[in-house]
Structure 1
Amino acid sequence: MVTVDVKLHQEKAQQDLPKPRLVIGGEDVTKASGGVHEHRNPATGLVQARIPLAGAEEVDRAVVAARRAFEVWGAMRPADRRRLLTRFGQLIRENIPRFAAICPLENGIGIGGWAETVGPHVADWTDYYAGWADKIEGMVGAAYSPHENVEYTVAEPYGVVGHIITWNSPALSLAMKIPPALAAGNTVVIKPAETTPFSALLFADLAREAGIPDGVVNVVTGLGDAGAALVKHPGVDKISFTGGPVTARKIMADAALGLKPVVFELGGKSANLLFADADLESVVPYCAAFAMSNSGQGCALPTRLLVERPVYDEVVERVAGVVSQLPVGDPLDPTTYVGPLIDGVARDRVEKVIENATKDGSGRLMCGGERIVSDGFFVTPTVFADVDNRSALAQREVFGPVLAITPFDTEDEGVALANDSEYGLSAYVQSRDLARVNRLVPRLNAGTVYVNPGPNPITSPATPFGGVGISGFGREGGKAGLDEFLRVKGVGVGRA
């Protein structure tokens, strides 16, 4: 048994949370038809806020408000949208400490690690897409008879876009979705998870302070029925969703009723190929610790470590040594690396995964697997070696601090193991052989490949991010992320 005490830093933390409410057309709504959710602090298990939940009534009001605001925002001069979004980005940058303070209370992200990077990322993504607002262009096509007519295209916003935001890093999810949608001229209705409403509320507050018109950004925290109402609403023109494949299938079915386009950023079971020529001194700590960041609650985290046989035993021992020493505890303590999971359901589910893998021999338990005694929702960082790549441990997304290590003998075998998954969000390569890297990148079945990466792969808003397979489709980041929120109209003009 391991004991975690979180009393030291939690006592004065409540003041950092925005007031629980919905934001509809610039109005703060504190009572809603969907009931109330008691939000529990992931580190203490104690109720820290009562969240009003949107029902179909509030979703409808938000969509109507967004539709009305689109008449103003969509018709605004692009340079004016750029100016407002630039101010929005400045305000986010000024409030980086507030984003960092909210994260541990909202879903347990550690203040000394991932949480500190959230605010800068949100500001960077907003700044990046603010710059795109007045650079959206069409093109002139080749006419059948250039002396007779002219053909050209116009890139236009969809109108109202519904955004269903993930709970594991809600502020980052907001940054990847909302600024490009706004830069393209759309208005938005955001549905955060009931477990993580606070980042979206701060986001909406800062948008209002920046001068973005009321109704352009609306927040309707709710359960699945609120999400379904948003997807089915005839006033919503497109849906952007980050979450899991099971929910995505339901959203796709609901969107199909209105033939509504969707963009999905879904889960992952990302393989991390470590070759014998890699710099083990720097690579091993990275591979061990990064898989445990945000308590393993990250879709793109490298949760399958595939190691070339000549260095396999050494890497396994080193990784287990690093992981077993990672500080676990209060996410408000700057020395903590692994905080709690989002809630008791997640904790129980991850503990069951560890228990099953230990019992059925899916892998050899190297460290972790102990029950943490705490009122919060903690799980011990855990490493399994010799993992069967066809086992549930290797094939299913755990979404907790659990790393599976598997050996391979040849480059072809390593690629085959990496691609032996329904998921295809990210892949990682650790090697100093650039010829090998160039061979591997096109062979790996993933939307993004990170080679000898730094501490966080989602750092640049200029780089498209997204998956293949059951990891989804569409892209967030770069011009591709902007294009998701534009549709092209063709125009032909004949000679009068």
Structure 2
Amino acid sequence: MTTTDPRTAAITFDDRPDVFIGGKWVESTSDEWIDVIDSWSEGVVARVRSASADDVAAAVGAARASFDAGVWASTPIEVRADVIDEIANRLDARLPELIQVGIAEVGVTVPVSAMTQEMTIGLFRAVANEARNVTLVDERTRADGGVSHVVKEPNGVAGVIIPWNGPIGTIAFKAIPALAAGCSIVLKTSPEAPLSPSIFADVIGELVAEGRIPEGVVSVVAADREVSEALVVDPRVDHVTFTGSTAVGRRIMALASERVAKVSLELGGKSAAIVLDDADLSSVMQSLPMGGCMQSGQACIALTRVLVSEKRHDEVVAAYKAALDMLPLGDPWQETNFLGPLASARQRDRVEAYIESAKSEGATIAHGGGRGGFDHGYFVEPTIVDNVTNDMSIAQEEVFGPVISIITYKDEDDAVAIANDSQYGLSGAVFSADAERAYEIAKRIRTGTVNVNGGVIDFTIPFGGYKQSGVGREGGPEGLDEFFETKTIHLS
């Protein structure tokens, strides 16, 4: 479509008037549209058809029929892996388009969108490699001397529900392992970010037309929460996998429990970074600011609680402020900027409400807190909230914005206790000049991932949460295993 806003006059994306069901773009039964808003200009850059409950039911029906026919499930896993590599190749060919869509949908800047999309395409290939290495039949000797086979089989139709803050990346975590395992899938995208999944659907459509993926195996629909619940409760769906907020995850788990459907959840986080007294601050500040403000804080793994001793508090806050001043904030379409706006007005309002809440509870703003002086774009400056206690809302609830809480501790045991005093357990970090000491503390933190003296991001390694940060793992062989059932066959 062509926009009339001068700030987005050069940015055009095709409208998507149809829905993708069973491998083909078809007419929707819905007359509702989703407006895709560019978070910098605040203008509409494309429109996407919203799927109806009938569309979702048709997609589930296509997935169920394809899985029960067994063509994709019985295709050798090495062949399925080759198809996934080809999906990666074709997405790579559309990388410039994916980069632009990422900027418009999420608000990330050019370098961040490019890095994210390139990394994601690598994740597709990593899943293909895991699929080639998986052992589908394990022969074991029983106590009676007989032989049994422990077999991995695809667990059926997967309802894949993804968020707006990393749509292609979440497809790599969920939809691609499901396809590699031999499942049929219905991919439900967020209304805030439906364009990237539409590009993925285009690629799947090409492969279906070429006969490399059977019809019915993949559907991609954008819909609101009410329509999404139709997917969760449909008895034809064997496995529901979701990435998003903990509140929605609880709802999905409750609905799925009515029929004892398998559920995998990757949910929220309120991750703590413990800075020990012997830590070298110059090294800490090479990773901590982006650890908290990546994608303008719109990341579940963001290190949003920084735990420092009373002794080093002032020094750490000063260093953090200086580091944030080095991160250029502005027009995400300019390659010189590293931080852009938040994804939506709703998200900006939510983050600003948390900042006000923190002040009302007695915390102080040590840095940022405003909109950066911009008269358009959904901006919130990188913000340091000081004098935070761990019982405050800002310390306990996921803000999903570039807001860092500074919390002081008395000693190491106190630091660990504060880090663990959370309903979440997704990520974390420990910084110390003594790597062994940091490692021992990392083992005491109840989170799925802990960084020691760095900011490693490698989603080919198992990733997931403790407590209300989720159920199951993504990445590596563990992520592929989520989409298998285990069957034991006893041979006489």
Common fold: TM-score over 0.5: yes
AA aligned to 2:223 is: G
Shift of 1:38: 2.0
Does 1:484 pair with 2:482?
Answer: yes
Q: What's the secondary structure of 1:448's corresponding residue?
A: coil
Judge which range, 377-386 or 84-93, deviates more: 84-93
Question: What is the correspondence of 1:395-414 to structure 2 with a 5 Å cutoff?
Answer: 395-414=396-415
AA aligned to 1:374 is: D
- Counterpart of 1:169 (choices 166, 171, 177) is 166
Residue 304 of structure 1 aligns with which residue?
Answer: 305
Residue 58 of structure 2 aligns with which residue?
Answer: 61
Does 1:179 pair with 2:176?
Answer: yes
Structure 1 segments unaligned to the other structure (5+ residues): 1-6
Shift of 1:217: 2.1
Residue 196 of structure 2 aligns with which residue?
Answer: 199
Question: What is the correspondence of 1:340-489 to structure 2 with a 5 Å cutoff?
Answer: 340-361=341-362, 363-371=363-371, 372-454=373-455, 457-461=456-460, 463-489=461-487
Residue 327 of structure 2 aligns with which residue?
Answer: 326
Deviations 1:43-71 (A, max 9, x none): 12212222211121011111122223332
- Alpha-carbon distance in 2 for matches of 1:230, 1:467: 24
Residue 3 of structure 1 aligns with which residue?
Answer: none
Shift of 1:365: 1.0
AA aligned to 2:186 is: V
AA aligned to 2:457 is: I
- Alpha-carbon distance in 1 for matches of 2:194, 2:482: 25
Structural RMSD (CA): 1.9
Shift of 1:79: 2.3
Deviations 1:375-396 (A, max 9, x none): 3211122111221111111111
Deviations 1:102-149 (A, max 9, x none): 101112121122x12222222221111112334332222332433xx4
AA aligned to 1:479 is: P
- Alpha-carbon distance in 2 for matches of 1:53, 1:77: 35
Distance of aligned partners of 1:261 and 1:34 in 2 relative to their CA distance in 1, 3 Å threshold: farther
Does 1:158 pair with 2:159?
Answer: no
Contact 1:132 1:183 in 2 (8 A): no
Distance of aligned partners of 1:185 and 1:466 in 2 relative to their CA distance in 1, 3 Å threshold: same
Residue 313 of structure 1 aligns with which residue?
Answer: 314
Shift of 1:468: 0.9
Contact 1:157 1:186 in 2 (8 A): yes
Contact 1:208 1:214 in 2 (8 A): no
Moved >6 Å (runs of 4+): none
Question: What is the correspondence of 1:106-255 to structure 2 with a 5 Å cutoff?
Answer: 106-113=105-112, 115-134=113-132, 135-146=134-145, 149-210=146-207, 211-255=212-256
Shift of 1:8: 8.0
Distance of aligned partners of 1:324 and 1:58 in 2 relative to their CA distance in 1, 3 Å threshold: same
AA aligned to 2:114 is: E
Shift of 1:325: 4.6
- Alpha-carbon distance in 1 for matches of 2:485, 2:473: 15
Structure 2 segments unaligned to the other structure (5+ residues): none
- Alpha-carbon distance in 2 for matches of 1:250, 1:316: 38
Deviations 1:18-65 (A, max 9, x none): 745421112213534272222221112212222211121011111122
Shift of 1:482: 0.7
- Alpha-carbon distance in 1 for matches of 2:293, 2:282: 18
Q: What's the secondary structure of 2:253's corresponding residue?
A: helix
Contact 2:435 2:453 in 1 (8 A): no
The percent of aligned pairs where both chains have the same amino acid is 37
Does 1:76 pair with 2:75?
Answer: yes
Provide the TM-score with structure 2 as the length reference: 0.93
Question: What is the correspondence of 1:259-270 to structure 2 with a 5 Å cutoff?
Answer: 259-270=260-271
Does 1:46 pair with 2:43?
Answer: yes
AA aligned to 1:111 is: V
Residue 32 of structure 2 aligns with which residue?
Answer: 35
- Alpha-carbon distance in 2 for matches of 1:435, 1:370: 40
Residue 93 of structure 2 aligns with which residue?
Answer: 94
Deviations 1:170-218 (A, max 9, x none): 1111111122111111111100111101111112222333543333221
Shift of 1:332: 1.2
Judge which range, 72-81 or 414-423, deviates more: 72-81
- Alpha-carbon distance in 1 for matches of 2:381, 2:121: 33
Residue 4 of structure 1 aligns with which residue?
Answer: none
- Alpha-carbon distance in 1 for matches of 2:129, 2:326: 43
Provide the TM-score with structure 1 as the length reference: 0.92
Contact 2:284 2:454 in 1 (8 A): no
Distance of aligned partners of 1:313 and 1:39 in 2 relative to their CA distance in 1, 3 Å threshold: same
- Alpha-carbon distance in 2 for matches of 1:326, 1:150: 61
Deviations 1:205-252 (A, max 9, x none): 223335433332210110011210111112111010001111111111
Contact 2:15 2:47 in 1 (8 A): no
- Alpha-carbon distance in 2 for matches of 1:8, 1:293: 28
Deviations 1:55-107 (A, max 9, x none): 21011111122223332211112222122122222223333333222101112
Shift of 1:470: 0.9
Deviations 1:437-468 (A, max 9, x none): 231122101011111223xx43241x100001
Contact 2:19 2:26 in 1 (8 A): yes
AA aligned to 1:381 is: P
- The alignment covers a number of residue pairs equal to 480
Contact 2:24 2:205 in 1 (8 A): no
- Alpha-carbon distance in 2 for matches of 1:171, 1:9: 26
- Alpha-carbon distance in 2 for matches of 1:262, 1:460: 20
- Alpha-carbon distance in 2 for matches of 1:20, 1:33: 10
- Alpha-carbon distance in 1 for matches of 2:116, 2:94: 11
Distance of aligned partners of 1:39 and 1:92 in 2 relative to their CA distance in 1, 3 Å threshold: closer
Distance of aligned partners of 1:208 and 1:413 in 2 relative to their CA distance in 1, 3 Å threshold: same
Q: What's the secondary structure of 1:424's corresponding residue?
A: coil
AA aligned to 2:252 is: I
